[in-house]
Structure 1
Amino acid sequence: MKNSKYTKLGILIVFSLAILIWGLSYLKGNDIFKRNDYYHVYYNRVDGLVKSNKITLNGYQIGQVTDVQFAPDNSGRLIVSFSVNSSFKIPVNSTARIVSSDIMGTRSIEIIYSKDKEFYQSNDTIKGSIEAGLKDQVSMQVLPLKTKAEELLSTVDSAITVLTVIFNEDARKNLTTSFAKINQTVENIEATTSDLQEIMASEKENVKNIVSNIEELTATFKNNAAAFEATIQNLNSFTDTLATISVTPVLNNLATASEEMLGILEKLNSDDNSAGLLLNDDELYQSINTMSENLGFLIGDIQQNPKRYLQVSAFDFGKDVYINTKDDASAKEIIFKVHLLSTKTKLGTDAEVFNAIKDVEEYFAGNVYSYLTGASNTYSEIEKIHNELRHQFPESNIVAFKKGKLIKLEKALKQLR
């Protein structure tokens, strides 16, 4: 009975010791129930890496450090041994890098996989590297700033020295005057820009129209580029033709023509020929002017009293044949009007030139605008209106219409016989 109790107690003690040994081994990173592969890495320094530190892959723990010791070759290097779960295979040329796992500086080893298809075997030695520490990183970041700050301080020191030499009393006065002029210039520029803004605001529509016209002009040039090119080619051909023409005969002809013109002008200025007398004799001019006036009165009297000057007999029947200018032409459906002027440009019946005339009509035919006034079936009445308007419109004349269509005046007068 006693042996049975001691046996149970011994078994319990052995089991407890086994559990204790396993627990201690587990806490040290050795799990006797898992199969692990062991690897070794050479480092020049470990920066605080100790046993039981983590071995991670992409942030996941796959093992832990099992031993850290100096290399047997007395080179001062350190050999770090670590175990990794046998389910993880490390490719050849992978790197075991010592990194900081937290902000407190705790070290761990990060496995950086390579793309090789071959894998390390257990107890192989793999390459190692060390991540730069916080101090080194800060030093690397601060060192350029330090260099730039030193250069800046040197530059500022030189600038202060130069300013001390330059900024004497005379220089300060000159700078004060310069700044005053600069302020005045800025004020002038502000005033000018204000005026420009007002001008642009008032002429905004005109500017838009100008821009629109320029766009239309450029579009026209673009659309007619072929025509412009053809015109330039024609001009080139014309200039080439001119270059081949001999200019000497043309100049000789011009010289001869100019000499002849000078001779004609000399004759016109002299009184020994008819043309000279016509141009230089005032009495002859007055006589011709008087004769033209008398001829005008004679023609007017003939139009008003044709019977006084024109008597035609046909086969001597004892009857006079003449143009009756007083009879009414309404039976013939003929209307006489005074033609004032004609123009290719439309003036309108309310144009300033027609202010003193009532009932102005516009007649369009043959791409010409004609302006008429008066409407009478009696020729003498329309002739009276024509005589009143002849001084204002010297080129006016009498026209005839039949049934709204323009006919020759001679034909209309012939129908009144």
Structure 2
Amino acid sequence: MKLTKYTKLGLLIVLSFAIFIWGMNYLKGIDFFKQNTTYNVVYERVDGLLESSAVMMNGYQVGQVKSIDFSDKNDGSLLVAFSMEGDFKIPRGSAARIISSDIMGTKSIKLQIVPSNAYYQPGDTIPGSIEEDLKEQVSMQVLPLKNKAEQLLGSLDSAITVITYVFNAEARKNLSESFSRINQTILNLETASNEISELLVSEKSNLKGIIQNMNELSASLNNNSDDFTNIVSNFSSISDSLAAADLANLIEQLNTSAEGMSSILSKIDTGTGTAGKLLNDEALYSNLADMSQSLDNLLKDFRNNPKRYVHFSAFDLGKNVFVSPQSAKVENRDSGYNLKVHLVSSPTRLSLQNSIFESFNQMEEVEISGVYSYLTGNTSDIDEIMEIHSKAKIIFPDASIVAFKNGRKVRLEKALKKLGN
């Protein structure tokens, strides 16, 4: 079939319109020959975003804005629809942010992709955000500086007020007087320094002698360090002995003895008792003096005339009794007296297997009023107890001999007198 020229003209016009429409959409970024996916975003404002504005992802344009209309919420928000070329899917959690794409303030949408296994479907509404414009950014940067500047101006104002108050006429006068006094002090220090320097120069020889004496003293102390060590060791031994001794019991006994002596002296002073009467009775003193004189006369007469008082006979029928050492010891054993060596007393209990007691065979522990006393030896032989006592004093310098009669403590003098007979 042959087409007329009018038909050809109509086809040409239709084709021209089709090419024109395709070209306009192509210039807008819409390609009818490629697959496009449309998404929606709701913004409170668009800040100059236009239809056909680019949609960017990682600096690459992947789509463009198709339309901008008011949303159905009737709250003034704007619904922006944009299309993306190809089959790229936007993961859920991603956002579309309006940004300035150049220095002139041209707006575009930047896709902020968040990796996810779920994706938005075509036509879904994805979250949107708006980048702060240059004015807001400048304001945010300048605001802290503005606040600091205001604080600085306030501080400067306070400082100027203080300086104005301080540097008045009276304050300047006080400062001037202070500086003059400081200068005088510096002059005094300089004078003192000169005097000290002169003193050092004049006493140089004496100072040298003092230093030399100090060096000799230090050398002497260094040479005698062993002696000082021995002295300290001896003091330490004395301290240990004092710590081990029953000082509380000893002091209590001394106090008791002092009270007894005070009572005896008081009785003697008042004339009570035999000793008091002996010291305070003048008649008794006179009688004793006369008796002493008579006894002296008797001794003189006995020495001059012994035959008056002593008669000798050729035969003596009396008995002489000789006591051997063996019989004396037997008598002493039967007397009930025995001697022991007191080693040490302690407020805390000590073990009888303690190393300090290992040199002694017979150990005995006695507890009196919470104080533990440790004794060794149990004999009526004075020589034997003296030997034990000498041995004990090597370890216990304060060791002493104590006496007992039938298990009760008695005075040592009395026991020695009985055992020595």
TM range (shorter): 0.3 to 0.5
TM-score (structure 1 length as normaliser) = 0.43
